[in-house]
Amino acid sequence: MPTTPGKLLVRGSVNIDEFFVVDHIVRSGETISSTDYSRRAGGKGANQAVAAAKAGAQVDFAGLVGNDGGWLRDTLGGYGVGVSLLGADETLPTGRAVIQLSSSTADNSIVLLPGANFSQTSRFRHLTSAQLATYSHLLLQNEIPLNETKDALRRAKSAGLTTLFNPSPMPSQQALAEFAWQHLDWLVINEGEGADLLAALADPAAAEQANEGPAALLRALRRTALGSLTGIIMTRGAEGVVASLRDGSVVEVGPGKVVGGVKDTTGAGDCFTGYFATLLSTLPRSPAYSLTHDKLRDILAIASQAAAICVESQGAMESVPTLAAVKERTGEGWKEGMEWEVLLR
């Protein structure tokens, strides 16, 4: 068991999230009233960095705020995220997410404004190979320019990092077909994104397997350009998680336990992804190490339980539980002596 886990670097978006609580998600041409409003820190990159920090990771966030987002630096730092790579572009506004949250169903609808997330002045660009090599894992999403993501993956892989990509929002089919998958180790998607990927990367006949269940979908994805990936993780909301390893084997895990009902699903996916990356970073990185099905199943179960706790309260960052809280909820199902217990110290 390692004495310390690896160090994560998250390169991604940071937004000002504006929440409007509504009875139902507005329909085309409809005007409705909001019953509540709040402003919080968000962005998939920042959310996942906070989730990693709450899981116990040593994590730095590389991104950009605009001329109205200075307070976000304090917010992220307050959660334990390193912000030395968080820059500012004073010529642009901070990225925005306008979120409708249904009070009746807990569903959400999101409109994004990229803002400074699409600035070309990221501090990540100036990291040397030696500086990149001080990290063990790089985690990316798709709320920054795709060329920045591809460049980050290439540089990180060259520096020896384990790379993870959560392609949300999903790129176009052409962008997916042209993506540099050879630089990626782990792909984290949901079921709908998996179907989109198969449609982009496989012939029409193979793409029909998206309708044959999650295991069949993952096996079909393995027959595309994704075949060389170490792992494909596919979240299924209330149905749990299913994953595929390079040898084609499939691991399935049920959902975590929700207490008191679902209040807000906004940050559940980011919570899961941040937790998954953190738990993965505790494992040995020797070429001789082989991740077993049981070990992967344990990691997925913990990340799923974290996401389940996350949906019990509102907010993408505020609702993310600590690893200690996840252990308490897991109860007798928690396995003692695992690598990630170092995160609890």
| pLDDT tens digits, 326-336 | 999 999 889 99
DSSP state, residue 80: T
309 pLDDT tier (thresholds 50, 70, 90): very high
Buried residues in 61-82 as b, exposed as e (16+ CB within 10 A): bbbbbbeebeebbebbeebebb
Please tell me the predicted confidence (pLDDT) of residue 264: 82
What does pLDDT average to over the chain? 94
List binding-site positions for ATP. 190, 235-240, 269-270
Q: Which among 27, 40, 20, 16 has a CA at the least distance from the CA of 97?
A: 16
Q: What CA–CA distance (Å, rounded) separates 299 from 311?
A: 19
Grouping H, G, I as helix, E, B as strand and the rest as coil, residue 47 is: helix
- Domain boundaries, given as residue ranges, for the chain: 7-15+43-95+115-344
Contact status, residue 139 vs residue 152, Cβ threshold 8 Å: no
Say if residue 287's pLDDT is above 90: no
* Amino acid code (one letter) for 343: L
Please tell me the predicted confidence (pLDDT) of residue 288: 82
**Per-residue pLDDT tens for 201-222?**
998 877 776 778 999 999 999 9
- The catalytic residues are 270
Please tell me the predicted confidence (pLDDT) of residue 280: 97
225 pLDDT tier (thresholds 50, 70, 90): very high
List binding-site positions for K(+). 264, 266, 310, 313, 315, 319
Please tell me the predicted confidence (pLDDT) of residue 164: 99
Kindly state the percentage of the chain with pLDDT values over 90: 86
Please tell me the predicted confidence (pLDDT) of residue 108: 85
Q: What CA–CA distance (Å, rounded) separates 144 from 115?
A: 10
List binding-site positions for substrate. 15-17, 43-47, 143, 270
Element (H, E) at 193: helix 191-201
**Per-residue pLDDT tens for 40-84?**
999 999 999 999 999 999 999 999 999 999 999 999 999 999 999
At which residue do the structure tokens 């390692």 appear?
2
Say if residue 197's pLDDT is above 60: yes
- The better pLDDT of the pair 265, 278 is held by 278
Average pLDDT over residues 277-290: 92
Say if residue 125's pLDDT is above 60: yes
Q: What CA–CA distance (Å, rounded) separates 274 from 261?
A: 23
What are the phi and psi torsion angles at 162 (to 5°)? -80, 130
Give the Å distances, CA to CA, from 185 to 46, 161, 199, 280, 290. 21, 9, 21, 12, 14
Q: Which among 36, 96, 44 has a CA at the least distance from the CA of 65?
A: 96
Give the Å distances, CA to CA, from 20 to 37, 69, 102, 111, 238. 5, 20, 9, 12, 24
Say if residue 21's pLDDT is above 90: yes
Please tell me the predicted confidence (pLDDT) of residue 119: 96
User: Between vectors from CA 254 to CA 251 and to CA 260, what angle results, nearest 5°?
Assistant: 160
**Per-residue pLDDT tens for 85-107?**
999 999 999 999 898 989 998 88
Axis-axis angle for helices 293-310, 268-280 (nearest 10): 150
Please tell me the predicted confidence (pLDDT) of residue 207: 72
Q: Find the largest Cα–Cα distance for the chain.
A: 59
Strands 162-165 vs 186-190: parallel, antiparallel or unpaired: parallel
List binding-site positions. 15-17, 43-47, 143, 190, 235-240, 264, 266, 269-270, 310, 313, 315, 319
Say if residue 262's pLDDT is above 60: yes
Say if residue 160's pLDDT is above 60: yes
Bridge partners of 189, per DSSP, are 234
Strands 137-140 vs 162-165: parallel, antiparallel or unpaired: parallel
Q: What CA–CA distance (Å, rounded) separates 272 from 308?
A: 9
Say if residue 345's pLDDT is above 90: no
**Per-residue pLDDT tens for 146-159?**
999 999 999 999 99
Q: What CA–CA distance (Å, rounded) separates 275 from 258?
A: 17
Kindly state the percentage of the chain with pLDDT values over 70: 98
Lowest mean pLDDT among 3-12, 25-34, 130-139: 3-12
Say if residue 1's pLDDT is above 50: no
Q: What CA–CA distance (Å, rounded) separates 184 from 162?
A: 8
Please tell me the predicted confidence (pLDDT) of residue 135: 98
Please tell me the predicted confidence (pLDDT) of residue 2: 45
Contact status, residue 109 vs residue 265, Cβ threshold 8 Å: no
Fold of 7-15+43-95+115-344: UDP-N-acetylmuramoyl-L-alanine:D-glutamate ligase (3.40.1190)
